[in-house]
Amino acid sequence: MSAQGVDVEGVSFGYGATRVLEDVSLSIRKGEFFAFLGPSGSGKTTLLRLIAGFGTPDRGRILIGGRDMTRTPPWSRNVGLVFQNYALWPHMTVAQNVAFGLERRRVPRAERDRRVRAALDMVGLAHLIDRRPAQLSGGQQQRVAIARTLAIEPEVLLLDEPLSNLDAALRAGVRQELVELQRRLGLTTILVTHDQEEANAAADRMAVLDGGRVLQMGTPTELYDRPANRFVASFLGTANLIDGTVEGGVFRAGGITLALREPATPGRATLALRPQAIRLHRDASGGALAARVLRTEFLGGHVRYTLELQEGQQLTTEEVHLRGRDPLAPGGGVQLEIDPQQVSIL
Amino acid sequence: MTGPGAGSPLARAKRRAALPFLLPLIVTLLLVAGWPLLRTVWLSLTDARLEAGLAPHFVGIANYTYLLSDPEWWSAVRNTVVFAVTSVALETVLGVLIALALNEKMRGRGILRAAMLIPWAIPTVVAAQMWNWMLHDQYGVVNQALLALGVVQDPVAFTADPDLALWTVIAVDVWKATPFMVLLSLAALQLLPDEIYEAAEIDGLGPVGRFFRITLPLIRPALMVAVTFRSLDALRVFDLMYILTGNSAAAASMSVYARQHLVDFQDVGYGSAAATALFLMIAALTSLLVIAGRIQAAPEEDDR
């Protein structure tokens, strides 16, 4: 069953004895903005390169638009790839860079000029048409790379860490432009990134990869709210992972006893606790756990605390900072409460 | 020179301070390069001879008029130009081809790269004498091999035959100087990232297109520097010809001609005129290459 965007079916890949991808399967819908998220060495870039046609999987198939492209060379796949370092040709002008793919595809001169202009208009760089890459800023080069890819009107747009070479101030703006452009064109897009914020903000759905496997797939909120395992829980935002047991719908670990709202299989289990699942009480009130403040980090909008329960269990939590509410001093005591609505059992 | 603040008091003070630091260098250059040059130019206008005790007399441009009328000089000019153009062209083409091969990821690449440098590392005099023996018409290994293989019926006098002498010198120079071209081309090739080739691969660019559309334009600046270096070297070639073919007019270069008159014929005035003419030609060519390089460094017109 194909999603008509990109289908990866049981793909394995390795260099000699080094396994890079292990039985990876995923379906990307037509017009979807999809992200491969993972740390370096997770295999996310290799997977993207296999989709682009740089390398052939040892096992499995890759379908683009429902057609088997596993052994098709890159130039026959109709994919566009934006490289991490942009890979613009330094000896060509912006216009020549963008026109190159059209020239190779024997697009007539007039049509070619029109499409070069249209692609550069789309990224707002039509006025820099005669510059060379070295005369452009990083953000502008990146947009030329995108325009070059869009000019060939690919079926799938592949982005390999496209924002990682931009400075932080520029990154959010370019990311928003990229998402708007993708929505407007309805172009099936795959973004490779190690930055969870980037994936969360841009992608409709994403896959978290580690050690060459897909650990979990879903929308950013699904993955954040219901991580399937310890890696996903801690890779996407902050999570306290507490080992304990589930019995009769109640989770127990050390001093923590929590009545679960959702059914959980009895036995050994790990509780994933986001910082916002913990509420702090400065005055002793009933039903709360007693803890000691180990570390206080004032971060402006909020304060991060490392707390220690009486049983030695450590928890990280955050509290919105308000004027008139001074951060808790390290060494002091505090009462805390866990919201059973906000926890997941792994 | 006209950067921001060029006229500010600080910038002026900096420029004033630079002079005393540069002075030792300027004086040394004037002594070791300027003085001999001026002396040669002066001698070229006299009838100076190597014998002691004879005071040189100013003869104006007589040496030069004779030089321009001497067919042997023009033969030396022709030899030098044929040598320089042919050997530098062959070295450039071979150098780039070998560099492309050595740039591929393959087993034993490190050893090949090191081995390739050996001809360049051997002193020219040693290499030339080695080839002289190998190419010897009676005892040389090259003739032995050619005879054994039946390529030739009689031994070939590579260095003595007037029709072959210049081409033999060119062949030895190509053997010797190609590694230099390989080295500079390879250094330029290694700066090119894989991604720019992959980006072109998506557009279906084949190996020939890769070379002419991407590789060559990008290594051209480095290649131009290498070609300039080699051209200047080739124009003042002396040792290869002196050892392989002696003073044979069939292969003599301008430098060989100048040395012959200066030393063998002890005609310092006339030899100086030949040396000055050679210097002027090299200076003119260098200026041309530098200007051409500048033009190419500036943004080009649309060359589609």
Interval B148-160 mean pLDDT? 90
What does the alpha-carbon distance between residue A196 and residue A129 come to, in Å, rounded to a whole number?
34
CATH superfamily, region A4-230: P-loop containing nucleotide triphosphate hydrolases (3.40.50.300)
Say if residue A149's pLDDT is above 80.
yes
Chain B residue with Cα closest to A87: B196
- Where along chain A do its domains lie? 4-230, 239-345
pLDDT of residue A34: 97
Buried b (16+ CB within 10 A) or exposed e, B78-117: ebbeebbebbbebbbebbbebbbebbeeeeeeeeebeebe
Q: For residue A87, give the nearest of B198, B217, B299 by CB distance.
A: B198
Please say if the pLDDT value at position A77 is more than 60: yes
Report CA Rg, chain B. Answer: 25
Q: What is the pLDDT of residues A269-294, one digit of tens each?
A: 999 999 989 988 887 765 578 889 99
Contacts A148 to B, Cβ<8 Å: 199
In sequence order, the β-bridge partners of residue A335 are A281, A290
Q: Using CB atoms and an 8 Å cut-off, which of residues 70-129 of chain B contact chain A?
A: none
SS (H, E, C) chain B: CCCCCCCCHHHHHHHHHHHHHHHHHHHHHHHHHHHHHHHHHHHCCECCCCCCCCCCCECCCHHHHHHHHCHHHHHHHHHHHHHHHHHHHHHHHHHHHHHHHHHCCCCCHHHHHHHHCHHHHCCHHHHHHHHHHHCCCCCCHHHHHHHHHCCCCCCCCCCCCCCCHHHHHHHHHHHHHHHHHHHHHHHHHHCCCHHHHHHHHHCCCCHHHHHHHHHHHHHHHHHHHHHHHHHHHHHCCCHHHHHHHCCCCCCCCHHHHHHHHHHHCCCHHHHHHHHHHHHHHHHHHHHHHHHHHHHHHCCCCCCC
Which pTM was predicted?
0.80
pLDDT at position B260, please?
Answer: 93
For B63-297, CATH gives: 1.10.3720.10
pLDDT digits (tens, 9 = 90+) for A83-92: 998 999 999 9
In this complex, do B198 and A54 lie within 8 Å of one another by their Cβ atoms? yes
Residue B183 has pLDDT above 70, yes or no: yes
Distance, in Å, from the CA atom of B116 to the CA atom of A304, rounded to the nearest integer, reads 62
- Selection from A215, A233, A82 nearest residue A154 by Cα: A82
Q: Give the separation between CA B222 and CA B108, rounded to whole angstroms.
A: 26
> Cα–Cα distance between B26 and B6 in angstroms, integer?
23
**Measured between CB atoms, does B154 come within 8 Å of chain A?**
no
**Could you report the per-residue pLDDT of B82-118, keeping only the tens digit for each?**
999 999 999 999 999 999 999 988 888 889 888 999 9
Cβ atoms B214, B200 nearer than 8 A: yes
Is the Cβ pair A87, B217 closer than 8 Å?
A: no
Q: Which residues of A touch B214 (CB under 8 A)?
A: 89, 91
**Does A105 reach chain B within 8 Å, measured CB to CB?**
yes
Half-sphere exposure of B237 (CA within 13 A, CB side): 35
Report how far residue A184's alpha carbon sits from residue A32's, in angstroms, rounded to the nearest whole number: 12
- pLDDT at residue A311, as a whole number: 83
Contact A75 B201 (CB under 8 A): yes
Q: Which of B105, B202, B212, B302 to mutate to test the interface with A (most CBs of A within 10 A)?
A: B202
Quote the minimal CA–CA distance from B219 to chain A in Å: 10
Quick count: other Cβ atoms within 10 Å of Cβ A157? 23
| CA distance to partner chain A, nearest, from residue B303 (Å) | 10
Which of 44-63 (A) contact B at CB < 8 A? 52-54
| pLDDT at residue A254, rounded to an integer | 81
Residue B2 pLDDT level (bands cut at 50, 70, 90): very low
Give the side-chain half-sphere CA count within 13 A for A183. Answer: 9
First to last CA, chain A: 30
Answer yes or no: is pLDDT of B3 > 70.
Answer: no
* Percent composition of chain A: helix, strand, coil (DSSP 3-state, to 5): 30, 35, 35
Out of B193, B203, B214, the one facing A75 most closely (by C-beta) is: B203
The gap from C-alpha B137 to its chain's centroid, in whole angstroms, comes to 28
A134 in Cβ contact with A56 (< 8 Å) = no
- Find residues 191-230 of chain A whose CB sits inside 8 Å of chain B: none
B199 contact A CB<8A: yes
Bridge pairing between strands A256-259 and A333-338: unpaired
Q: Which of A75, A88, A91 sits opposite B202 (nearest CB)?
A: A75
The owner of tokens 């030339």 is B128
Q: Which residues share a beta bridge with B39? A: none
pLDDT at residue B189 tops 90: yes
Residue A182 scores a pLDDT above 80 = yes
How far apart are the two ends of chain B, measured CA to CA in Å? 36
Q: B299: which chain A residues are within 8 Å (Cβ-Cβ)?
A: 132
Q: What is the pLDDT of residue B57?
A: 87
Type of residue numbered A190: I
Q: Is the pLDDT of residue B304 over 70?
A: no
Q: Which residues of B touch A87 (CB under 8 A)?
A: 193, 195-196, 198-199
Q: Does domain A239-345 have CATH number 2.40.50.140?
A: yes
Size of interface A-B (CB pairs under 8 A): 56
How far apart are alpha carbons B247 and B67 in whole angstroms?
A: 17
What pLDDT, on the 0 to 100 scale, is given for residue A285? 67
Whether residue B298 is predicted with pLDDT greater than 80 in this model: the reply is no
Interface touch A75/B304, C-beta < 8 Å:
no
Q: Vertex A119, ends A115 and A123: CA angle to 5°?
A: 165
Q: Is the pLDDT of residue A167 over 90?
A: no
Q: What is the pLDDT of residue B285?
A: 87
Residue B135 class from Cβ within 10 Å (0-12 exposed, 13-18 middle, 19+ buried)?
A: buried
Kind and range of the H or E run holding A104: helix A94-104
Query: What's chain B's length in residues?
Result: 304
CB contact under 8 A, B203 and A100: yes
Cα distance between residue B220 and residue A6, in whole Å: 41
**pLDDT computed for residue A262 by the predictor:** 85
Q: Could you give the 3-state DSSP secondary structure of residue A60? A: strand
Our CA dihedral for B168, B171, B173, B176, rounded to 10 degrees, sits at: -130
In the prediction, which pLDDT does B303 show? Answer: 40
Does residue A67 surpass a pLDDT of 80?
Answer: yes
Scanning A152-279, the segments in alpha helix (DSSP H) are 168-185, 196-202, 220-225, 230-235
Give dist(CA B237, CA B166) in Å, integer: 12
Q: What is the mean pLDDT of residues B171-183?
A: 95
A window 58-87, beta carbon within 8 A of B: 73-76, 79-81, 83-85, 87
The DSSP bridge partners found for residue A62 are: A8
**Distance (Å, rounded) from C-alpha A124 to C-alpha A286?**
60
A185 in B contact zone (CB under 8 Å): no
Q: Which residues contact A345 (CB under 8 A, 6 or more apart)?
A: A246, A251, A260, A262, A264, A269, A270, A271, A272
How many CB atoms lie under 10 A from the CB of residue B278? 20
What pLDDT was estimated at residue B301? 41
Q: Which two tokens stand for residue A71?
A: 């052994």
Does residue A1 carry a pLDDT above 80?
Answer: no
Specify the pLDDT at position A72.
93
pLDDT of A221-256, one tens digit each?
A: 999 999 999 999 999 988 999 999 998 889 988 878
Q: Is A320 helix (H, G, I), strand (E, B) or coil?
A: strand
**Measured between beta carbons, which residues in chain A are less than 8 angstroms from residue B195?**
83-85, 87
Edge-to-edge strands of the sheet including A289-298?
A278-281, A333-338, A289-298, A302-309, A314-320
**Mean pLDDT to the nearest integer, A14-37:** 93
**Cβ neighbours of residue A79 closer than 8 Å, sequence gap 6 or more:** A51, A52, A53, A64, A154, A155, A156, A157, A158, B202
Residue A124 gets the label, from left (phi > 0), alpha (psi -120 to 50) or beta, of left
Nearest-5° Cα angle at B213, B207 to B215: 75
Looking at every residue in chain B, the average pLDDT score rounds to 89
Question: Whole-angstrom Cα distance, residue A143 to residue A159?
Answer: 12
pLDDT, one tens digit per residue, over A183-232 is 998 999 999 999 999 999 999 999 999 999 999 999 999 999 999 999 99
Average pLDDT, chain A: 91
Q: Which of A309, A311, A285, A308 is nearest to A296 (CA)?
A: A308
Which residues make Cβ contacts (< 8 Å) with residue A14, sequence separation at least 6? A20, A21, A58
Mean pLDDT of B147-176: 92
